[in-house]
Amino acid sequence: MDRISAASDLARDEVDRWLHALSVDGLASLDPGPFGGWSLTDAGRAADDEWLAQELDAPGARTAVLNCYRQFLGLNPELLQVCSDWQMRSFGGSPSLNDHTDPRLRRPGAVAALSPG
């Protein structure tokens, strides 16, 4: 709950009230397991879709957001490759996780190269 509080800039007790209210309304559920946490239910995802549509349509922002998304889609394959290249390395043709200890395998300018301007 601390991460939600920090991301939303809401006090922890306020986040707790919101999450429990969403739970009562059937829009969110808490999985108390070792890897658990709060998540949206199917009804919560449907409500979120409606809220997002209202947000996009109210100020007339849908066209601008869709244009930005289309630009992102053009860059996404290259970005995915940069991320994969950064996360993995090859020894004798066999891929393994990159532990980032070999300075020859670091590519700090790779992400900057994706910038369209």
CB 26 within 8 A of CB 41: yes
Tens-digit pLDDT profile for residues 4-32: 899 999 999 999 999 999 999 999 999 98
CA distance 112 to 91: 26
Tens-digit pLDDT profile for residues 40-81: 999 999 999 999 999 999 888 999 999 999 999 999 999 998
Residue 97 bridge partners (DSSP): 88
